Structure 1
Amino acid sequence: MTNRLLGLMFLVLFSMTSWAGKDAVFSTSDGAIRGYDPVAYFSQGRPVKGKSGYKARYQNADWYFSSAENRALFEASPEQYAPQYGGYCAWAVSQGYTASIDPEAWTVHEGKLYLNYSKGVQSDWLEDVPGNIAKANKNWPSLLN
């Protein structure tokens, strides 16, 4: 089996576990987006690891930033910079479930940040971004229940 196929099988099995009352934001011990700076996706066009000295709290999650300027931009308008679907994998949400993300698998589309489980899953997401967004919007946020 290819690594991509194994990854997709894991994603499906992982998503089948029952998580009652998921958090509104996907977060790990490193914080939302696994500690990456959400503003950097827009300002630098790439994922940048945040620093512990630049932290903000939003939607019950800790968010980390690479600079005080990025933290201030986020605090002024978090809905502009926070990833869609609470930072859960956008493709998974379009398919009717939630999954974790890889901060390196990302897309900015029409000014919004979308994260994916892996680069392999991201390639599926990119096959029809507008269609996948439409499906995900119908599923979100009811998947948190």
Structure 2
Amino acid sequence: MAETFSKKEKREKKQKKKQDKAQRIEERRLNNDKGKGLDEMMAYVDENGNLTTVPPPTGRKREINVQDIQLGAAPIAPEETRKTGVVSFFSDKGFGFIIDNRTKEKIFFHRNELSQPVAEGDKVSFETERTSRGDNAVRVQKE
């Protein structure tokens, strides 16, 4: 009996798979890292924290003052509580806006926070308070 076309095709595919598998095994065997010397496997860390294959030079070492090492988050400088600005708008309804001299930001204020009456263009000093609608000027005093 003769071999059919599909049987022949299956046999050839099986042989091709065996050859491919043998070839992959041979490649893995040749590229194997086992048996390398200790020097080839070593990695070094330089003074900047980068990995390198070259050992660091032994001669120069930088002295570090322990007090200069900062642990945790950077300290936040306290913000000045009293700010200055100019009244840019004041309504008859009792509210207005101050332009902060340092940040040039418009800050809302209400007449209840005034220690004395103000008009547009007056220089004032104030403190800010965070509300649900943004910053409000409080304890506003005319300068």
Higher normalized strand content (fraction of residues):
2
User: Which TM-score band (shorter chain)?
Assistant: under 0.3
Higher relative contact order (CA 8 A, sep 6+): 1
TM-score, normalised on structure 1?
0.21
Structure number with larger C-alpha Rg: 2
TM-score by length of 2: 0.21
Question: If each structure's helix is expressed as a fraction of its own residues, which one has the higher value?
Answer: 1
